[in-house]
């Protein structure tokens, strides 16, 4: 179970209780480069450090000007990921930083599935054309 010492309200009614056992302290996240961007914010590669354990993760962060609806959607995503649990074919929830509205998930070093499949298809099509010539 993670450390809930920084359980506090974020001003919109959310608190560490929203994340429960998944609560992550902001101080334990060491943010690195942006690896993705979406409608509601960015995803950054990061390291989650707890004691001697250092784990590479991805952190979904809302934009500074995020609306209360954006925050609500992120909390809904958190609840869905908590209910799904762990599965080999799904990016799993690692934690949530309530005060900062940061969703922490497993880091996928090969990137997102759509781009990976697109790259594989292009490579496959290129090899197929090469064999025909």
Contacts of 106 (CB under 8 A, 6+ apart): 57, 58, 91, 92, 94
Structure confidence at residue 101 (pLDDT): 92
At 48-67, the pLDDT tens digits run 999 999 999 999 999 989 99
60 is in an annotated binding site: yes
Specify whether the CB–CB gap between 54 and 47 falls below 8 A.
yes
CATH number of the domain that residue 108 is part of: 3.30.200.20
Number of domains in the chain: 1
Give the model's confidence band at 80: pLDDT under 50 very low, under 70 low, under 90 confident, else very high. Answer: very high
What's the whole-model pTM score? Answer: 0.73
Q: Is residue 2 part of a domain?
A: no
Q: Is residue 58 part of a domain?
A: yes
Q: Is residue 5 part of a domain?
A: no
């Amino acid at each position: 179970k993670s450390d809930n010492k920084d359980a506090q309200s974020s001003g919109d009614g959310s608190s560490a209780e929203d994340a429960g056992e998944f609560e992550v302290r902001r101080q334990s996240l060491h943010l690195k480069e942006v690896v993705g961007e979406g409608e509601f914010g960015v995803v950054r590669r990061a390291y989650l450090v707890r004691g001697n354990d250092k784990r590479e993760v991805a952190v979904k962060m809302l934009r500074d000007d995020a609306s209360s609806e954006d925050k609500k959607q992120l909390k809904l995503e958190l609840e869905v990921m908590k209910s799904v649990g762990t599965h080999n074919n799904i990016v799993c929830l690692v934690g949530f930083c309530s005060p900062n509205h940061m969703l922490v998930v497993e880091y996928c070093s090969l990137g997102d599935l759509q781009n990976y499949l697109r790259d594989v298809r292009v490579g496959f099509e290129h090899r197929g054309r090469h064999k025909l010539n």
